[in-house]
Structures are given as structure tokens and as C-alpha cells.
Amino acid sequence: MATLCSSYAWDDTSIGCPDDWPAGLRAAAALVLAAPTPMVLLWGEDATQIYNDSYRLLMGAKHPTVFGAPVKSSWPEGWHLDWKQYTRAWAGESVLVEDAVVSVGRAGDSSDATFTLGYSPARDEYGVIQGVLVTAFETSTLAAAQRQARSAIRAKADFLAVMSHELRTPLNAIGGYAELLQLGVRGPITPEQRGDLERIQAGQQQLLGVIDDVLAYTKLEAGILHFAVEDVVLDELLTECCALVAHDARQKKLELRRSGSVTGLAVRADAEKVQQVILSLLSNAIKFTDPGGVITISCQEERGERIDIGVTDTGRGIALSDLECVFQPFVQVDGKLTRDQDGTGLGLAISRQMAQRMGGDLTVASEVGSGSSFTLTLACGRRMHRPLE
């Protein structure tokens, strides 16, 4: 292109002969011609095109007629770049456009490819904008890989939705028949048989939980889990969460406490998802705290902007080196086959993703032997005032 540029009949163009070019244009043209990445310089009011060898590959049959010619007359069918971004750059802005689909004429035919395009003002030696420099970085392969990955994740979510339905039906039957036997519908049962039936039901519930977790995580990953964000009153929600875990806590001889005033406090969130996150934190706290321990649910408003909901226990705690990985999917700190607690290792991964999808976060502080404190942070909702009674 450098050869073409030096032998080109510039006299017939609006920018004239190179000997008369302003220093700014000469410097910009030299920079473009020497650059290894695709670049085009559009100089002057009519956007006369000077491009390099890499950019030429994108021009196909347009080359060489459009070299040194104004954009408008060379692209009567419409310029393959974006005129709006060109105008912004001409007005002094540096514009970056990702995933721009550009028609290119690489193999003779024109086809679409994806690029990251940079439009920046090109100035003369006095600092006055006289043109626009466009740099093009092709991302077609990356975009195709991303499209493929997205559709694979989607296919996985669809497959798991079908699988979960297929698994749920026999599992529900197992639970249902176990219950019938427990109720004595098929005749009296011995205490040993009752114990066995309880274990069958516990196993059935556990499997249903695993299916729910895997499905929820896959949906979150595929971005197809719907969030209905509204003002959620915390008082009722936390009371319900406590009621739901009270039996398990009692059975394990754990004290369940509430701290901090929540009267009228509301968060902007999806009520069902917040409840799911808090229940998951409470169930972990119960699981990992020995009898005699205390579990506290606290609530604190921060500068009227956000609300921290804490679930603190006095349990076994988590080592500093494991603190971040507990939020990774399928991670259990005690991952040995002999571990004493069941679970999929998905609860916290799901909970953090849900919190983040609602514009909040889930964090943890812990000390081995002293306990753990998980904090769900969410944006403040509109305060709810109780009517005077």
C-alpha cells in the first residue's frame, strides 16, 4: 500500500499532492501505512480513504478503486462502517464499538464479520480535527465461540430441565409409596420398618434437593432464571425463614436468635429468591454448628442505601484459605467421602449468583472453631409503614 500511496495520482483528489499535505496528514498516513493491524484514515470533509495492507484484505473487489477516494462516492450502497460513530469522532470523541458486524470482501464475495472498531479524531499539526482514524480488530472467531458456548449452556439447561422432570416423577412415587406404608395403609409396620421408611424419605428429599440445585445453577449460568424484583418487607420474610428452620434447629439443640430492628425495612429483590438464599444460609449454619450453639439472624441498614442481612453461627468455621472457594460450584470444604454432612456444594454458589443478579452480594467472614458469618447485601427498598392501630 505504501507503494500505491506514493505513486497515486493525488493531484486529482480533494487532499491534493503529498508534498502539499499538512504535516499532521503526512504523519497520520505514514502511521496507518506502517501499522500491522487494519486501519483506515478518513481525511478531510469528504473522508478521503487511506488504508493499509491489513485493511485492504477487508475491501475485496472495492480495492483499488476506493483508495484515495471519498467514502460517499465509493460506497453508494452504504458505507460498511458506521457513519454515526464517524461523526462522533469528528466531533472530538474517541469511540469504541464492540461486536460490530461489518461487511467485508475478503474472498471476492462480501460476507459479514465481527470486529471491535475504534474511531478516533485525527488532527493536523495545529490540533484541529481534520479527519477520523478507524482501527479494526477482528473478533469473529471469538464471537462465534461465545455464541457456541452460549448455545451449549442453553442446551445443557434444556436437557437438565427434561432430565429433572424425568427423575422427579419416579422420586415422587417413591416418596408417596413410602408415606402410604408409613400411614399403615398396607397393614401395620414394625418400628424397624418405620425407621427404614424414614430413611427412604430422607434420601428421596435429598435427591429432590440435588435436582433442584443442579437445575437452578444451570438456569442461572444460562441466564434464564427469571427475577421478579419488587419491594420486599424483611420482617415477614425473616419471621417465615425462622419458622421454617425452627424444628431442625430445635432438634439439633441450637438457639435461633434475631437481632437488629427490621420494622418497616424493605429490600429491592425477588422475595422468593431472598428466602431461598436465607434458608440456604440457615440450613448450612444448622448443619455446621454443634449442639448448644447459637445462630443469629441480624439486619442492618447502611446509609439508607443498602441492607445487610447476616446469618451468624458459632459452629466449626471455615479456614481463611477456603473462604473464597466455598462460593465456587461443587465445592465442599470437607470433600472427603467420609464427610459427615451431605450436600451438593452448590448452595453458596447459587446464593451468591442470585444475590449478584439482584444487584447485591453475598460475603463471608469466618474463623475456624469460632463460627461463620454470612452477609447478604441488597439495595434498600421503599420503607413500609404500618398503619396506626
Query: Is 282 among the residues that bind ligand ADP (CB under 6 A)?
Result: no
Query: Is 316 among the residues that bind ligand ADP (CB under 6 A)?
Result: yes
Query: Is 323 among the residues that bind ligand ADP (CB under 6 A)?
Result: no
Look up residue 270 and give its three cell numbers.
425477588
Query: Is 347 among the residues that bind ligand ADP (CB under 6 A)?
Result: yes
Element (H, E) at 15: none
Query: Is 345 among the residues that bind ligand ADP (CB under 6 A)?
Result: yes
CB of 315 to ligand ADP, least distance (A): 5
CB of 241 to ligand ADP, least distance (A): 15
Residue 330: C-alpha distances to residues 183, 335, 348 (Å): 37, 9, 9
Query: What gap in Å lies between CA 59 and CA 234, rounded to an integer?
Result: 61
Query: Is 118 among the residues that bind ligand ADP (CB under 6 A)?
Result: no
Q: Hey, which residues between 358 and 387 contact ligand ADP (CB under 6 A)?
A: 372
Is the Cβ of residue 68 or residue 347 nearer to ligand ADP in the bound state? 347
Query: Is 318 among the residues that bind ligand ADP (CB under 6 A)?
Result: yes
Is the Cβ of residue 279 or residue 384 nearer to ligand ADP in the bound state? 279
Bridge partners of residue 214, in order along the sequence: none
Nearest to 273 by CA among 241, 318, 235, 307: 241
Output the CA torsion sign for 183, 186, 189, 193: negative
Stretch that binds ligand ADP, among 115-123, 144-152, 229-237, 332-340 (CB under 6 A): 332-340
Nearest to 124 by CA among 7, 8, 29: 29
Ranges of H-type helices in 315-381: 347-357
Is the Cβ of residue 85 or residue 296 nearer to ligand ADP in the bound state? 296
Query: What gap in Å lies between CA 60 and CA 67, rounded to an integer?
Result: 12
Site for ligand ADP (CB under 6 A): which residue of 48, 204, 218, 284?
284
Binding site for ligand ADP (CB under 6 A): 284-285, 288, 313, 315-316, 318, 326, 331-334, 343-349, 372
